[in-house]
């Protein structure tokens, strides 16, 4: 037996993943990130509704410099998850199932989410 059954090292940096795979990973990552934010956001909501002092404290917390980039990433996560969710919903209705259309819609979602995030982030 000359067959070599040793495990093969796969260098993932040498592979070019399809845009749909990149968009799908972004969809999952954005969903996980938003779920992880729920306890913190629930705490802020509870604190803001407790009293006027609690509301002022929440404003002070949200004005902290470290939360600005986290809020920006959360905005991206929400927009990316929404756009890719709409794409997946359309695919469930057999719209955009063809290979070329699927690639184009994945590319649109992947590039539109940061652009829309920037536009909304600048307005805020």
Per-residue pLDDT tens over the stretch 5-59: 888 888 878 888 898 898 999 999 999 999 999 999 999 999 999 999 999 999 9
Q: Could you tell me if residue 10 is inside a domain?
A: no
Per-residue pLDDT tens over the stretch 62-100: 999 999 899 999 999 999 999 999 999 999 999 988 989
Closest among 64, 7, 6 to 40, alpha carbons compared:
64
Whether 81 has a binding-site annotation, put simply, is: yes
Q: Could you tell me if residue 5 is inside a domain?
A: no
Domain that holds residue 25: 18-123
Q: Could you tell me if residue 52 is inside a domain?
A: yes
Q: Could you tell me if residue 56 is inside a domain?
A: yes
Q: Could you tell me if residue 11 is inside a domain?
A: no
- We report the CATH number of the domain holding residue 34 as 1.20.1300.10
Number of domains in the chain: 1
């Amino acid at each position: 037996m000359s067959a070599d059954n040793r495990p093969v090292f796969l260098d993932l940096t040498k592979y070019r993943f399809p845009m749909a795979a990149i968009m799908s990973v972004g969809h999952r990552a954005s969903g996980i990130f938003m779920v992880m934010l729920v306890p913190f956001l629930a705490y802020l909501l509870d604190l803001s509704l407790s009293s006027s002092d609690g509301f002022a404290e929440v404003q002070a917390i949200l004005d902290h410099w470290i939360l600005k980039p986290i809020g920006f990433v959360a905005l991206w996560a929400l927009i990316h998850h929404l756009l890719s969710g709409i794409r997946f919903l359309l695919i469930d209705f057999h719209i955009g199932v063809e290979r070329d259309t699927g690639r184009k819609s994945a590319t649109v979602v992947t590039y539109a989410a940061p652009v829309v995030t920037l536009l909304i982030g600048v307005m805020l």
